[in-house]
Structure 1
Amino acid sequence: MGLVKRLTKQAWFHGLVCALIAAYIRFVRLTSRWEVSGTEDRDRLFAEGKPFIIALWHNRIGMMPFAYAEQSHNLCVVHSGHSDGRFVSGTMGRFGFDAIPVDSRDGAKATRAIVKRLKDNKPVGFTPDGPRGPRLVVKEGMIVIAALAGVPIVPVSYSMKRRRVLKTWDLFQLPLPFNRGVCRWGKAYILPPKPDAAAREACRAEIEAILNDLADGCDREMGHDPVPRAASDEKTTGA
């Protein structure tokens, strides 16, 4: 076992890395100017005390704690159960968010936990192309959970003028300090009651298009080309 792999299994190292990542996110936020719009449906659901799913692409999770500013609403984020996912949950925990780990070997258990959370009137954050891709493709799991819980899906995306695009499966967007960013929320997407397989697929494709339109629009506002979709033969790895 290599040194890095051994370190990632140590609680002190995990805590240190999560603290450093959270500090960096706060520093970027404090030194950057943001323009946020489209929050009407999100704010209405908050005001009415209704649960919903927040959906954003995996490569945009860097500034998620500030795309979703209302910590008092007790957001719960869904993350993978392996080491990279635990770093995500540990970091988000420093912003007051709860986490639900998803084990690919027991998806039914995770689904029940997420549905219960939603039925307890708590919003849940999803990256529907995670944890391993393909990039910018919505998986059916989020649609199934929204249908089971009877909740809407509210999409969100953001982009920043200065960034680094990492060579990860999702082309992760690493925001830089002293920056300018835009955050755009979409309208609440309501699924039909008890959708069959064909209806779920139609909803999945619509949400995917909405998320890509939001992300592409944010990128263009910041002077960037849209992130390319994953090729059909592209390998997917990562958190």
Structure 2
Amino acid sequence: MEHDLAKGPASDAAPTGRGRSRTTKAFWRKIRQPLAQSRFVKNAIASLFAQFVRFVRLTNRVVEGSARFSGGAYTEFEPGIIALWHGQHLLTPAYYPKRKPLVAMVSRSADAELNALMLEKFGIEAVRGSGGRENARHLDKGGAKALIALKKSLAVGKNVAMIADIPHGTPRDAGLGIVLLARLSGRPLVPVAITTSRRKVLEKSW
């Protein structure tokens, strides 16, 4: 009898715990969308990303023999089209010299908006657009307008940056967008890769 009585309160408390869990989940679902759309929250996250990138640069040395943006290695090619691979572009804002204007093409996806906001923290202008595929289904993603904007930037002496390979495509396989920009502008492609000796590679992130 005593054993049964001892179990009583515990069994009564269990639904309360589950109820609290359901309430918490319902509350999170309610605020998740407004938070994701909040300009303040996005700017806060972008600022954290920017500080992290600066921290990585401060705590990692440039590999000996690497050409530096600010060391004049690319002066003869400017204004040029900086070509980057996915995964080797994240540190570019921290290493690009502040005195030189740069315009970067950033996807119009919701995730890439944080990337665009982070670039602004470094004084880099972002134009939004996706391109590179031959499929007509992708022509409405702003790629054409973005290419025109980048071409105009090159014409006034600004360097521009694009990620050469296409999301969800073949890694390290350049799309047509960056090639088309070089052809239309007559400016050279400048291949750039920035990585660190200490890193974590996300193999299944593509």
TM-score, scaled relative to structure 2: 0.72
Structure with greater Cα Rg: 2
SS of the equivalent of 1:54 reads strand
Matched AA of 2:116: S
Task: Find the counterpart in structure 2 of residue 92 from structure 1.
Answer: 119
* SS of the residue 1:160 aligns to: coil
Contact conserved, 2:77 with 2:190, CA < 8 A, in 1? no
Indicate conservation of the 8 Å contact 1:8/1:83, yes or no: no
> Which residue in the other structure is 1:136 paired with?
172
- 1:32 pairs with 2:60: yes
How big is each residue's C-alpha offset from its partner over 1:183-204, in whole Å with a ceiling of 9 and x where there is no partner? xxxxxxxxxxxxxxxxxxxxxx
Given that residues 89 and 193 in structure 2 are in contact (C-alpha distance below 8 angstroms), is that contact kept between their aligned partners in structure 1?
no
Alignment check: 8 A CA contact 1:56 1:126 kept: yes
SS in 1 for 2:200: strand
Higher strand share: 1
Report the equivalent of 1:164: 200
8 Å CA contact 1:77–1:98 kept in 2: the answer is yes
C-alpha contact 1:79 1:131 (8 A) present in aligned 2: no
Matched position secondary structure for 1:165: coil
Instruction: Give the fraction of aligned pairs with identical amino acids, expressed as a percent.
Output: 31
How is 1:185-224 mapped onto 2 (pairs within 5 angstroms)? none
TM score, norm. by length of structure 1: 0.63
Shift of 1:44: 5.6
Q: SS of 1:12's equivalent?
A: helix
Alignment of 1:2-151 (within 5 A): 2=29, 3-35=31-63, 37-39=66-68, 43=72, 45-46=74-75, 50-68=78-96, 70-103=97-130, 104=138, 105=140, 106-151=142-187
Q: CA deviation at 1:6?
A: 3.5
Structure 1: unaligned runs, 5 residues or longer:
171-239
Is this contact kept in 2: 1:49–1:121, CA < 8 A?
no
Structure number with the higher helix fraction is: 2
Do the aligned partners of residues 107 and 32 (structure 1) sit closer, same or farther apart at CA in structure 2, a change above 3 Å counting? Answer: closer
**Residues 1:5 and 1:88: Cα distance change in structure 2 (over 3 Å):** same
